[in-house]
Amino acid sequence: MKRLDPRLGAGLILLAVLWLAAATPAVLNAADRVRDRATADRLGRAVDAAVVAAQDERRLSLAVLAGGDASALDAARSRTDAARDELRARTGRWIYSASAAGLVSGLDGLAAVRTQVDGRAIGRTAVLSAYGSAIAAGVGLPWLPSGPESRAREALSEEDALLRAALSTTAGVTGAERVRVGELAGERRAGEPSTADQRLAAVEARVILGEGKPVSPAEWAAAADLVNAGLRAAENRAARDAVTADTPGAIRATVYGGLVAGVGLVALVGVLVLARRFRPALPSRAVAAPAPDDAAAGLQPLLLDLHRRNQRLLHRLLRLLDGLERRQSDEEMLGELYRADHLATRARRNVEKAVTLAGGPPARQWRRPMPMGEVVRGAAAEVEDYVRVSTAQIEPSALAGEAILEITHLLAELIDNAIAYSPAETRVRAGGRWADGGYTVTVADAGPGMSDLDLEHARQVMSTPRPPERGVWLGFYAVGRFAARWGAGVELLRGTAGGLVAEVRLPAGLMSRPVPDRPEQDGPPINRVDRMRARAGRVSDSTGTSVDLSNVGSAPRGDSEAQ
């Protein structure tokens, strides 16, 4: 009786641990990079809006204490509250929320200060201190790209609020306030001063020293507004540049994590299959055969659990890529995101195929039937050179929801094989029709075809539940396993004009008719390639029976790349 060598079993377990040790940091790093990018893009603008609103409210609060109009202050408070509520709504599981929560908490704490301002029961210094503490939580955060510019503009904003109020009173600027103005001016200045900076510095010197002609509120406003506008423009530019610069790194980390997890898992499953196939016989002792102690069988639940974990990681990566694609407006970067999305989709196909071959149920399921045209297009979207695939004359039909995932992978294996063994300049065509009480899907290529011996061997591999020897013909083996699970038949034929034609006969129990061959007009495309095209405005004509995928993943002539 044969059983697995314990040393080989230990080696398999060690290989699984090493793969997990390599894949987990790569996937977690990808998630962190994408989260950093999403934080700067999603939360940065909300923080900036809240800071600007609070700065405006601070200036108007000091103006009211100096005798200004209170109606403008009421409007500023409403804007601050709205910005705070928006910021609170944007923080969540995938967003760094600790610092943002500090800003929200600080803005919530302004209620008491507002009451004192309304009752004229607080001084300018106390107002500046309260608002400064709240605003500080949102200025220069480490994950916000415009830190230095934000701090410089906050210094000018506090200085501006103080002097506009103080210069409009008869008492003027106090000695303590002159010292504070000097401190704020020093915090703001950095680099080579512009003409506007020099003009503002001259006005500040007169305020701080109290010499020369007194500074009027209008003179101060004219000098400060020009510098503030320049700082604001630099702040926005730095934020935009930093978000753009982070995108390629997030894409690279996502692609690397997906490939390490997906390819490593497929390799591990391949080694396990080979180990189970070629188990060396160990000499038995004495009288009785050794008790069953198949280490590979004991390893199978662990591998299935690893498959599931990697499926969840890939699903999270694809959701993150979806979010990046929806928020990205740059066509060149959108093209890179779509290529990363396609690589992750192919890795997910391999992982889901490994789950099925290892005996596990599919992780993704549909509750409703799907148009057969969408199933075929989804299968084409899972192969590398999908731009060579087109569909023709797919008769209206719908596939039962529980069979969608594995029939899609079955067709993807046949399409992948047709692309690999046909000239690069030719097309692979897929079609579907009702026939013999069921539904038949055909995949035809223009390659050299197969010999009689190869055709017979492929039929044997597809009909045998045991994996093929030496790890070859695994694609046809997967086709046979998927077909057996749903009672489908697969036949390989020579094409009338050459090449190979694969016919997949789906039983009538899995099919229904008639239904439209595409989803509802206002619904999202089901497969990821159509989803990419929809975002680029290139979805195929819904009235046709032929769909050309070649415009997905390549730039049109005279236009920049957008997939």
- What does each of the 563 residues of the chain score in pLDDT, given as a tens digit? 445 566 666 666 766 776 666 667 766 666 666 666 666 666 777 888 888 999 999 999 999 998 888 889 999 999 999 999 988 887 754 455 555 778 888 899 999 999 999 999 999 999 999 999 988 887 765 545 456 777 888 888 998 999 988 888 888 888 899 899 888 888 877 656 778 888 888 888 888 888 778 888 899 989 888 888 888 887 777 666 665 655 666 566 666 666 666 666 676 676 666 666 555 544 443 334 334 445 555 556 666 666 566 666 766 777 777 777 777 777 777 777 777 777 777 777 777 777 777 777 766 778 899 999 999 998 998 888 888 998 878 999 999 999 998 999 999 999 999 999 999 999 999 999 999 889 999 999 999 989 889 999 999 999 988 888 766 788 899 999 999 989 999 999 998 888 999 999 999 999 997 645 444 433 344 455 555 555 444 433 433 333 343 333 333 333 333 22
Residue for token digits 């003409």? 195
Rounded CA separation 346/314 (Å): 10
* Segments of 176-265 assigned E as strands: none
pLDDT of residue 545: 36
488: left (phi over 0), alpha (psi -120 to 50) or beta: beta
State the pLDDT at residue 411: 94
Are the C-beta atoms of residues 320 and 346 closer than 8 Å to each other? no
Instruction: Report the C-alpha gap between 339 and 160 in whole angstroms.
Output: 49
Q: Would you report the helix, strand and coil content of the chain in percent, each value rounded to 5?
A: 65, 10, 30
Residue type, 487: G
Distances (CA, A) of 160 to 55, 95, 168, 198, 221: 10, 33, 12, 16, 8
The pLDDT assigned to 548 comes to 40
Contact 428, 445 (CB under 8 A): yes
| Single-letter amino acid, residue 240 | R
- HEC profile for 409-476? HHHHHHHHHHHHCCCCCCCEEEEEEEECCEEEEEEECCCCCCCHHHHHHHHHHHHCCCCCHHHCCHHH
pLDDT of residue 272: 67
Beta bridge mates, 491: 503
Which residue's structure tokens are 């196939």?
277
The pLDDT value recorded for residue 445 is 94
Asked whether the whole model's pTM tops 0.85, one would answer no
List phi, psi (to 5°) of 515.
-140, 160
pLDDT given for residue 209 in this prediction: 87
Q: Determine the Cα–Cα distance for residues 532 and 326; give it in Å rounded to an integer.
A: 10
Rounded-to-integer distance, Cα 483 and Cα 493, Å: 17
The side-by-side arrangement of strands in the sheet containing 489-494 is: 489-494, 500-506, 438-444, 428-435, 389-394, 547-548
